[in-house]
Structure 1
Amino acid sequence: MRKAIVIFTVLALISMSFATIGTYVNKIYNPDDSQDKENSNVIKMEITFSNPQIKDEEKYLIINLEGCSPLLSPGKPVIPVYKKVFTLPFGTQIESVEVIAGNIEEKSLPTKIIPAYELVPPDMHSSLSPLKENKAIYESNSIFPETRYEYATMGGISDGKHVTFLSLNLYPLHYIPSKNVITIAHNIDVEIKYNPPEKPLIQNDVYDLIIISPSEFSDALQPLVNHKENHGIKTKLVTLNEIYGSVYFPSQGRDD
C-alpha cells in the first residue's frame, strides 16, 4: 500500500497536549473491541476531575485543573479545558454528542480570574501588553464559557491513511465573573454516536502526493502537479475551498 505525502502550503498548529495527573478517565468504551452491533458506533467516557488549584497572582487568580490546559482567548478569563481527539474512519458523520455533568460544587473567589494576554507580537521583541479585561464578559452575570462542551470534525492523515479526527473540548469549570463564583463538575459523562461511511470515500493508495493549497494558488501549482504526474507520481491538488466545502470529507462542529 502506498503512503501519500501531504504538502500543506498553509499550516496551522493547534496544540492538543495536556497533563493527565489528577484527572481520571474511569471508563472509555471502545467500539472496535465490541461484538455488540447495536453499540458498535458509540464512544462512551466517564471522567473524574479533582479540585482546582487556585494561585494568587497580584490582583488576579490563576485557576489550574489537573488534566486540563488553559483556554487562552485575549481579554477573557483563563479557564481550564479538557481536550480529547478521536480518530474515526474517513467520512464519518457525527450523529450526536451528549455530555452530562455531575457532582457540581460551587465556590466563591476573593477576586477575579486572570484574563489572557494579547497575542505575542510577530517580532517577538516587544513587551507584553498590559492585561486587559473583556468588559462584556467580566461585568456579565452569565456563566463563562457558555457551553459545557464543543466539538469539531476535520479530515486528515494518520499512519498514512485518510481519517476523520473528532476534536472534543470539555469545560468542567464555569465562572460567573460579576459574582466571582466558580462551579466545578467533578464528574462528566460523554456519549458520542457516529455513522461511518458504508464504503471508503477515498482509497488510501490512490495518490502518492497530495498538495493542499489556498484556491488562489491552484493555477500556479498545476504545473507542479503535471510534472509529478509525468514522472509517475500520482498527484492530487486539493484547495482549501474544497476542504471547507466538505468536498472530500464532512466538516462538522457544535457547541452546547
Structure 2
Amino acid sequence: MNTKIVGILIAAVFVTSAFATFAGNTPGYDRVETAPGGQASATTYTVRQTFEQPVVFSAQGYAVVQMAGTRSDLRSGYPTLPYTRETLTFPLGTAITDVEVSVSGVHILSLPGKISPAPQPVPLNGEPASYIVEEGPVYTSHQPYPREWVQWHTGAGIRDGQRVTLVTVHVYPARYLPDSNQLEYVDSAEVVVTYQPPEQPLLQADAYDLLIVTADAFRSDVEPLVEHKESYGMRTLLATTSEVYAASDGRDQAEKLKYYIRDSIEDYGIKYVLLVGGLTSLISGQEWHVPVRYVYNGEGSEPRYLSDLYFADIYNADGSFASWDTNDDGVYGGWAFGLGKDLIDGYPDVYVGRLACRNTKEVQAVVEKIMEYESGTDPSWFKRVTLVGGDTFNDISAHNYLEGEVATQKTAEYLEDFDPVKLWWSEGNLQLSKVMDALNQGSGFVHFSGHGSPGMWMGKDFTDDPHGEYILGMEVYHMSFLKNDGKYPVWVIGGCHNSMFNATLMDSTLGCIKSLTGTPTWYWMPIPECFGWWPVKVPHGGAIATLGCTGLGYGTIGDSDGDGIPDCIQYLLGYLETRFFELYGQEGVDVLGDMWGTAISDYNDLFPPMQDKIDLKTVQEWVLLGDPSLKIGGYSS
C-alpha cells in the first residue's frame, strides 16, 4: 500500500501568477495554483501523510526496516531508514522561511539488533571491491536519528520548462533510538511550509532558446550550425569568447562565462548552452579555447576534477548568483580539509553541453554530424540499443549481482520499444570484436556499464581471480575504425574518468610512467584525447554525443535495504544512467540536454548535494559531451 495523502490544506495570499506544485514518490499529488490578486505575504502549505506499520527483519547481523510507499536513505555509516520525498516548486526567488512538522500516533518497537548502516560507496577504479559496512557516530549517540522527523533542502532549477525555487522535503516516518536499540515510528505526519513569494517575477525574457559560445577561431565553422538550428525553430545566439570576456565581469574567464550565461538567461531567456571548444593542444598544456572549471570536492587520490555543471547551476534558491565559492577563497567547489565547504545549489538552471574540439577539423566534423543526425534518422538502426556490461564488482559477500548487466538490463526495460543488443559477460560475448560489430550496425543508444580510464572501457571476469581479470571493451584507438557513418548513437559510459576531456599526450604518458612506480594515476595508456570525446569528434562514425565521468565514479554493491532491487541502479552513478534512459523511454523527454539536466535534478531531490561529498561529486562530474539542444532521433524520421 502506498503512502496516502489524506489532506492538503492551503492558506495563501499571492501576487499575480504565483504558484506551487508538488512532485514526489507518493502518488496523489496534483498541481495546486492559487487565484491571482492581492499583496505578497507569508504563505503556508500543509501536507498530511499517513503510513503503514514498519516491517522489521534480520539480515547479516543487523535489523532491516521497511515501510510501504517509502524508499531507503543510504548515507554511508548512517542507519538505513525509510523516508518519503516530496518536491514543491515556487516562483524563482521565493523565500522559504520555515518548515515545521508535527506527528501523531507515536509508537515504540524493540529491535532484534542494531539497524543496518548503509555501506560505503565503491569506486569504479578497478581495484578489488568489498562490501564495507561501518557504524558511524550515530550509533553511540544519545539522540534519535534523525533528530527531526523531516529534513529539507532548497535549490533553483527547471521544472516543466520553468525556472523555479525548489523545496525538497524528506519525511522520516521512523527514527532510530540507539541508546535503547528501539524504533520510534508514527501513524501520520503533517508538514507545514511557510514561504514568501517574490513581489515581481525574476525572469520573463523569451527571445532565444540556445546560446552557443565558441572560440573566435571557430566562429565561421560554427555558423552553419546556427543556420541549421534556426531552420528547425531553435532560436540561436552565437557569441565568441572574446565577446564574452569583454561583456562580463568575473575573477577569471570561467566566471566571466558564467555571468554571461546568467545575463543571457535574464536578457534572452535561453534554455540551452553549447560550449564549442576544448584544450588548444593535443600534446600538452592547460590552455582552453572555451574555459573550464576545476572543482575541489576532493579526496587524497583526486583533489580536483572538471565540472561543466558549474556553468549550468546559475542561481541559488533565492535567485542570487551561484558562485560555487561561497567563502571567497578563490577555490571553487571546495569541500576538503583546509578548504572548508563551499555551499553549492547543484541544480541545472540551463542545460549545458560541450563539444571539446581542439581544432577546426574537429569542429567541422562534429557540426556536420549534428546537422546530418537532426535531419532525420532511420528506425531500422535507431530503434536498437547496444548494451555492454558484465560483473563490475566481486561482491560474493553480498548478493553477487552482475552490476553492469543489471544496469544495462534496466536500460533495456526502459527502452521497451528498442531492440536490445546485449554484449554481456554472462552471455560470453563481451569482446572487443563483438562491440565493434554492434557499433558498426548503428543504434539509437549505447550503454556501457563497468570500469574505465581516460583511454579505454573495460568489464571484469572474476571466475579465476578474486581481483578480477579485465575484459577490454574498447579503447580510443579503435574508434577511427568505426564504420557507422550516419548511424550515430548517444553513448552513456559507466566507468571512471572516461570523459576526462583535459587529457593530453604528455599528461597521459607521464601518468603511465608514474604508474610503474606505484604512484596513483588514472592513465593506463598514452592518449591525446579521452574515451568520451573521441567517438564524438571522429568523422563518419562513432557517436553523436556521450555522457560520462570526468573523475572517479562510484557504484554500490548488494541490496543493503532488502527491497529486492539491486542498489547499483538505485544510487550513485547507476541511478543517473538508468534515470537518463527512463526519461526518454518512459516519459517522452526527447531533447538531450533535458534528459541530462532532469536526471541530475532528480538525483539532487533524492540525495541532497550538500549532505554527502560523493553524491555531490556524482552530479558534478557527469558531463555531456554533445549538443544539449539535440533532438533525439532527429526532427523527421
Class of the TM-score when normalised by the shorter of the 2 chains: 0.7 to 0.9
Deviation at 1:197, TM superposition (A): 0.8
State the distance in 2 between where 1:137 and 1:234 align.
45
| 1:28 corresponds to | 8
| 1:195 corresponds to | 196
Residues 23-59 of structure 1 deviation map (CA, whole Å, 9 limit, x = unaligned):
2111123564555979993211111111011121031
Deviation at 1:233, TM superposition (A): 9.9
| 2:254 corresponds to | 218
State the distance in 1 between where 2:114 and 2:5 align.
30
| 2:184 corresponds to | 183
Deviation at 1:140, TM superposition (A): 2.4
Which structure 2 segments of 5+ residues have no match?
A: 13-31, 213-250, 274-309, 323-344, 346-607, 609-637
Q: 1:124 to 1:160 in 2, by over 3 A?
A: farther
| 2:320 corresponds to | 247
Who wins on radius of gyration, i.e. which is larger? 2
State the distance in 2 between where 1:35 and 1:241 align.
31
State the distance in 1 between where 2:145 and 2:102 align.
17
State the distance in 1 between where 2:150 and 2:93 align.
22
State the distance in 2 between where 1:102 and 1:46 align.
11
Q: 1:24 to 1:42 in 2, by over 3 A?
A: same
| 1:76 corresponds to | 78
Q: Which amino acid aligns with 2:158?
A: I
State the distance in 1 between where 2:144 and 2:170 align.
17
The secondary structure found in structure 2 opposite 1:137 is helix
The secondary structure found in structure 2 opposite 1:116 is coil
The secondary structure found in structure 2 opposite 1:104 is strand
The one of 50, 67, 72 aligned to 1:65:
67
State the distance in 2 between where 1:129 and 1:138 align.
19
Higher strand share: 1
TM-score between both structures, scaled by the size of structure 2 = 0.31
Could you tell me whether the CA contact under 8 Å between 2:95 and 2:196 is conserved in 1? yes
Q: 1:101 to 1:110 in 2, by over 3 A?
A: same
State the distance in 2 between where 1:235 and 1:189 align.
36
Q: 1:110 to 1:210 in 2, by over 3 A?
A: farther
Could you tell me whether the CA contact under 8 Å between 2:205 and 2:269 is conserved in 1? no
% same residue: 26
Q: 1:234 to 1:33 in 2, by over 3 A?
A: closer
State the distance in 2 between where 1:69 and 1:27 align.
22
Q: 1:41 to 1:57 in 2, by over 3 A?
A: same
Which structure 1 segments of 5+ residues have no match?
A: 1-20
Q: 1:210 to 1:246 in 2, by over 3 A?
A: farther
Higher helix share: 2
Residue 107 (structure 1) aligned with residue 109 (structure 2) = yes
Point out which structure has higher relative CO (alpha carbons under 8 A, 6+ apart). 1
The secondary structure found in structure 2 opposite 1:91 is coil
State the distance in 2 between where 1:247 and 1:66 align.
39
The Cα RMSD (Å) is 3.7
Could you tell me whether the CA contact under 8 Å between 1:78 and 1:116 is conserved in 2? yes
State the distance in 2 between where 1:33 and 1:246 align.
21
Q: 1:187 to 1:146 in 2, by over 3 A?
A: same
Deviation at 1:194, TM superposition (A): 1.4
Deviation at 1:104, TM superposition (A): 0.3
| 2:118 corresponds to | 116
TM-score between both structures, scaled by the size of structure 1 = 0.72
State the distance in 1 between where 2:100 and 2:140 align.
30
Could you tell me whether the CA contact under 8 Å between 2:55 and 2:66 is conserved in 1? yes
**How many residues of Structure 1 are paired with residues of Structure 2 in the alignment?**
222
State the distance in 1 between where 2:121 and 2:311 align.
28
Could you tell me whether the CA contact under 8 Å between 1:117 and 1:128 is conserved in 2? no
Q: Which amino acid aligns with 1:175?
A: Y
Deviation at 1:105, TM superposition (A): 0.4
Deviation at 1:83, TM superposition (A): 0.8
